[in-house]
Amino acid sequence: MSNELQSSVQYIKSVGPKRAESFKEIGISSIRDLLFYFPTRYLDRRTIINSVKATKYLLDGYEGEVTILGKVVDSETIRYGKKQLFKVSMKDAAGFYECVWFQGVKFFKDKFKPGEQYAISAKPVITKYGNLQFAHPDFDKLDSEESREFLNTGKIIPFYRLPKELKAKNIGELSLRKIISYAVNQYAQFLTETLPDKIVNEQELLNITEAVKTMHSPPNHDALLLAKNRFIFEELFFIECLVALRKHSFKNNIIGIPFKVSANPIKQFLSNLPFELTRSQLKVLSEIRTDMESGKPMSRMLQGDVGSGKTVVAIIAMIIAAENGCQAALMAPTEILANQHFNNITNLLNESGLKVNLLIGGQKKSEKAKNLNEIKLKESDIIVGTHALFEDTVDFNKLGLVIIDEQHRFGVEQRFRLMKKGTSPDVLVMTATPIPRTLSMTVYGDLDLSIIDEMPKNRLPINTTLRSEGNLPDIYQFIKDKIKDGYQSFVVYPLVEESAKLELKAAEEYFEKLKNTFFSDINVGLIHGRMKWKEKEEVMLKFAAKEFDVLISTTVIEVGIDIPDANIIVINDAFRFGLSQLHQLRGRVGRSDKQAYCILISNKPVKKQKGLFENNFEYMSKAQIEKYKSQIRMQAMAEYSSGFDLAEIDLKLRGPGDIFGTKQSGMPELKYADLARDSEILIEAKKCAFGIIEKDVKLNSSANQLIKEQLKKYYTEQLKYSFIG
Ligand code: ADP
Ligand code: MG
């Protein structure tokens, strides 16, 4: 990079040392940093029209957005019934118009003082009184110099985020725009390409200088799109390089265990099951089998919606490993789930002669020591546990297969730690959280994918409804009425997270209250996160044995738990939960041939908002999505049963930066790309990156030096999981 770009922003006209400090606080030290401070949005001066023209357009049937520039005349809050709206009357040189807000009245009240100038953008309507009206428009306050600029330059004007650190140094919208514009004009020419020229040409991308210039002052929308696409492509390209590197780092060169599969033990196991495997289960089994037989280590993700029957598939894989004289480990995210798997597998493998051990954090010292010893001496064949499995004290003896259940609860880091306990063991990660295609190409791109896309035959769709707290007495009655049909129920109680003590108290109070009122004549159990695992185990076993009709619980039951007769789940304060969490909770029921019910309770109004969700969800603005998030989630739950659909909606609800959920994914945060929007670019970037890495895994060729350099510079953390790291 040339020196000019590395110099401090203080040398930019009208910055200076003091302001440079504020820039530094928001992460902009060098001139290069400033060049990459892109506008968050743009105002298209070319669509600015006056109010008379706007009215005429509307009468001619125009339905798009327009921008109008004018002054505030006055504003008022109007009450109608219980509601209120906020109305601002405005005028421009041609005439009058109005802006109205039905929500957030408090927030808008203090803005829009008479005489202030605003640019207003929205789809206008003509009211029944003949007024030109903008409902919930985008707006920008302008000073007089700015409005002159708007009116006189026929350009698309950039808007930059203006952090308080800059405001504090008297930098306003306009001056920031000027500072950046100066920097771009003087310095963008010195930017050096960060992508190999070959890629820039092949992909028909704007070169870096062009792209940066265009981001700050796009001549038109098409050019802007091209510039944005360049940065999106670049970001996704480097991510796909990481994915490809990760994939190759344990596929190539490493020799895995070629397992031999003999039919008898598997047949015997299957004959003990009370059901036949679905076609989907058989299909994924044969994929897993092929992997296990091959000399390369398996790294496969098994994806199947909640209740699709992943566990039996895992057990069969473990039987194969054990029959080959290897140990197999199954890691679950919670002690309850590990314990359930342990009991389940012990029962199913009763006649097989294989030994199953449990290893979790809460075990007694002596018990743990005994388990550790048996693992070390290879008395145990199958080891089920929590993250306790990859502690240093655990000394596996020929660990040949690692299975991770509910893998979204674990990070890549943990997957690698458990893998390191063996010498290139086969790895199978299982998840009920369906991974949208774009994510399976990125975060999980190093894994081959097997999908169970079919539920066991006997299942009915879960009946999901939204109710308010006022309905609870009826719901409790419903729960009691259903007991005679053999139904058990989960009641998930509102979360209290402030402190362990408070949570405990809340859980117990809630339990006591129900036991003394609605549920005084039935058996009720309680389970929560503050219990020791033995206590939890006891409660779960009792519930499975039908000693309770109702289990009051926190979200400790969220993942994996399988109680076939529990067919009603009531989720209190449902709006607090994320979509995937709600889907997981709902997945606790509907695991048999009986009709199951999921009842979401919310104290917010759950009345269906017409048009909010059904068709035009995709066209809602970010602000609207933010505002109605919990509502959309609840409605989505009621309308969709497939985890895959819900995951796609979830992806749209979360901001692009938040896509990978947590830092756990071992993937960088996205700055430019939005996986929900940019799947086509992603596919291109992937092709391109994989093509390069497949030919040159270590990025040694001279043509690939730039790529290596960039990766090392910006993705050090992520390179840990690959060769060049
Ligand atoms: P998940 O995929 O959510 O982990 P589980 O493996 O816990 O699901 O299976 C859910 C329930 O379905 C269990 O009670 C399991 O015994 C049962 N099950 C699994 N496969 C089948 C099948 N092919 N037919 C009927 N029931 C099945
Ligand atoms: Mg499961």
Expressed in angstroms and rounded, the spacing between residue 429 Cα and the centre of ligand 1 is 17
Atom of ligand 1 nearest to the CA of 311: 6
Whether the per-residue pLDDT at 118 is higher than 70: the answer is yes
Tokens of 156: 């698309």
Helix (H) and strand (E) counts in the chain: 27, 22
Q: Would you state the pLDDT for residue 665?
A: 56
Residue entry with tokens 């397992």: 259
Tokens of 220: 């038109």
- Which residues 6+ apart lie within 8 Å of 669 measured at CB? 657, 660
Neighbours of 460 (CB within 10 A): 13
Tokens of 32: 């290069």
The type of residue at 656 is: P
Q: Which ligand is nearest to the CA of 315?
A: 1
Mean pLDDT of 319-324: 95
Cα distance between residue 2 and residue 15, in whole Å: 21
Whether the per-residue pLDDT at 420 is higher than 70: the answer is yes
Ligand 1 close to Cβ of residue 308 (< 6 A): yes
Expressed in angstroms and rounded, the spacing between residue 211 Cα and the centre of ligand 2 is 47
Ligand 1 close to Cβ of residue 306 (< 6 A): yes
Q: Which ligand is nearest to the CA of 584?
A: 1
Q: In 547-678, which residue ranges form alpha helices assigned H by DSSP?
A: 579-586, 622-639, 643-653
Hey, whose CA ends up nearest to atom 16 of ligand 1? 309
Expressed in angstroms and rounded, the spacing between residue 310 Cα and the centre of ligand 1 is 7
Which helix H or strand E contains 426, and what residues bound it? strand 426-431
Expressed in angstroms and rounded, the spacing between residue 306 Cα and the centre of ligand 2 is 7
Residue 362 sits at the vertex; the CA angle it makes with 360 and 367, to the nearest 5 degrees, is 75
Ligand 1 close to Cβ of residue 432 (< 6 A): yes
Ligand 1 close to Cβ of residue 591 (< 6 A): yes
Residue 511 sits at the vertex; the CA angle it makes with 510 and 515, to the nearest 5 degrees, is 120
Ligand 1 close to Cβ of residue 310 (< 6 A): yes
Cα distance between residue 601 and residue 622, in whole Å: 26
Mutate to test the pocket of ligand 1, among 306, 308, 315, 343 (most ligand atoms within 8 A of CB): 308
E strands of 55-160, at which residues? 66-80, 83-91, 96-101, 117-122, 125-126, 132-135, 138-142, 156-159
Cα distance between residue 50 and residue 146, in whole Å: 17
The type of residue at 642 is: S
Ligand 1 close to Cβ of residue 586 (< 6 A): no
With contact defined as beta carbons under 8 Å apart, do 569 and 489 qualify? yes
Atom of ligand 1 nearest to the CA of 312: 6
Q: Would you state the pLDDT for residue 724?
A: 46
Whether the per-residue pLDDT at 142 is higher than 60: the answer is yes
Expressed in angstroms and rounded, the spacing between residue 537 Cα and the centre of ligand 2 is 17
Select from 597, 606, 596 the least CA-distant residue to 634: 606
Whether the per-residue pLDDT at 300 is higher than 50: the answer is yes
Cα distance between residue 663 and residue 717, in whole Å: 11
Ligand 1 close to Cβ of residue 278 (< 6 A): yes
Q: Would you state the pLDDT for residue 648?
A: 78
Select from 556, 558, 560 the least CA-distant residue to 507: 556
pLDDT tens sequence across 668-715: 677 888 876 788 898 899 999 999 998 988 889 998 999 999 988 887
Give per-residue burial for 591-617: e unless 16+ CB within 10 Å, then b: bbebbbbbbbbbeeebeeeeebbeeeb
Neighbours of 713 (CB within 10 A): 9
> pLDDT tier at 658 (50, 70, 90 boundaries)?
very low
Q: Would you state the pLDDT for residue 435?
A: 66
Spacing of C-alpha 6 from chain mean position: 36
Hey, whose CA ends up nearest to atom 18 of ligand 1? 309
> pLDDT tier at 652 (50, 70, 90 boundaries)?
confident
Hey, whose CA ends up nearest to atom 5 of ligand 1? 309
Q: Which ligand is nearest to the CA of 588?
A: 1
Expressed in angstroms and rounded, the spacing between residue 465 Cα and the centre of ligand 2 is 24
Tokens of 149: 């600029």
Tokens of 603: 């104290």
Whether the per-residue pLDDT at 106 is higher than 90: the answer is no
Ligand 1 close to Cβ of residue 304 (< 6 A): yes
Whether the per-residue pLDDT at 23 is higher than 90: the answer is yes
Ligand 1 close to Cβ of residue 312 (< 6 A): yes
Expressed in angstroms and rounded, the spacing between residue 478 Cα and the centre of ligand 2 is 28
Hey, whose CA ends up nearest to atom 24 of ligand 1? 456
Ligand 1 close to Cβ of residue 309 (< 6 A): yes
Atom of ligand 1 nearest to the CA of 591: 11
Cα distance between residue 692 and residue 124, in whole Å: 50
Whether the per-residue pLDDT at 664 is higher than 60: the answer is no
Ligand 1 close to Cβ of residue 598 (< 6 A): no
Q: Would you state the pLDDT for residue 564?
A: 87
> pLDDT tier at 666 (50, 70, 90 boundaries)?
low
Q: Would you state the pLDDT for residue 619?
A: 55
Whether the per-residue pLDDT at 603 is higher than 80: the answer is no
> pLDDT tier at 382 (50, 70, 90 boundaries)?
very high
Whether the per-residue pLDDT at 34 is higher than 60: the answer is yes
Whether the per-residue pLDDT at 413 is higher than 60: the answer is yes
Tokens of 693: 């890495």
Select from 236, 45, 219 the least CA-distant residue to 147: 45
Q: Would you state the pLDDT for residue 419?
A: 76
With contact defined as beta carbons under 8 Å apart, do 291 and 300 qualify? yes
Q: pLDDT: is 438 or 346 the higher one?
A: 346
Mean pLDDT computed over every residue of the chain:
85
* Residue 336, SS3 per DSSP: helix
Q: Which ligand is nearest to the CA of 587?
A: 1
* Residue 454, SS3 per DSSP: coil
Whether the per-residue pLDDT at 440 is higher than 70: the answer is no
> Long-range contacts: 120-127, Cβ < 8 Å, 24+?
120/67, 120/68, 120/69, 120/70, 120/90, 121/43, 121/65, 121/66, 121/67, 121/68, 122/65, 122/66, 123/63, 123/64, 123/65, 123/66, 124/54, 124/58, 124/66, 124/97, 125/58, 126/55, 126/58, 126/59
Mutate to test the pocket of ligand 1, among 586, 591, 592, 594 (most ligand atoms within 8 A of CB): 591
Q: Would you state the pLDDT for residue 129?
A: 86
Expressed in angstroms and rounded, the spacing between residue 567 Cα and the centre of ligand 1 is 15
With contact defined as beta carbons under 8 Å apart, do 361 and 589 qualify? no
Instruction: Give the single-character DSSP code of 93.
Output: S
Expressed in angstroms and rounded, the spacing between residue 553 Cα and the centre of ligand 2 is 19
Ligand 1 close to Cβ of residue 686 (< 6 A): no
DSSP string, 633-670: HHHHHHH---HHHHHHHHHHHS-GGGTT-SGGGS-PPP
- Say if strands 327-331 and 356-359 run parallel, antiparallel, or are unpaired: unpaired
Residue entry with tokens 């902009």: 28
Hey, whose CA ends up nearest to atom 23 of ligand 1? 277
Expressed in angstroms and rounded, the spacing between residue 559 Cα and the centre of ligand 2 is 7
Ligand 1 close to Cβ of residue 656 (< 6 A): no
Q: pLDDT: is 332 or 670 the higher one?
A: 332
Ligand 1 close to Cβ of residue 590 (< 6 A): no
**% of the chain with per-residue pLDDT over 70:** 88
- Give 475-496 as a 3 state SS string: HHHHHHHHHCCCCEEEEECCCC
Q: pLDDT: is 712 or 658 the higher one?
A: 712
Atom of ligand 1 nearest to the CA of 458: 25
Mutate to test the pocket of ligand 1, among 277, 279, 312 (most ligand atoms within 8 A of CB): 312
With contact defined as beta carbons under 8 Å apart, do 30 and 106 qualify? no
- Spatial strand order of the sheet with 327-331 comes to 356-359, 382-385, 327-331, 399-404, 426-431, 299-304, 448-452
Ligand 1 close to Cβ of residue 564 (< 6 A): yes
Give per-residue burial for 621-650: e unless 16+ CB within 10 Å, then b: eeebbeebebbbbbbbbbebbebbebbbbb
What radius of gyration do the chain's Cα atoms show?
30
End-to-end CA separation in angstroms for the chain? 23
Ligand 1 close to Cβ of residue 313 (< 6 A): no
Q: Would you state the pLDDT for residue 211?
A: 97
Ligand 1 close to Cβ of residue 347 (< 6 A): no
* Listed range (238-252, 370-384, 452-466) with the worst mean pLDDT: 238-252
Q: Would you state the pLDDT for residue 121?
A: 83
Distances (CA, A) of 636 to 413, 438, 642, 675: 32, 21, 10, 20
Tokens of 229: 């696409």
**% of the chain with per-residue pLDDT over 90:** 45
Expressed in angstroms and rounded, the spacing between residue 592 Cα and the centre of ligand 1 is 9
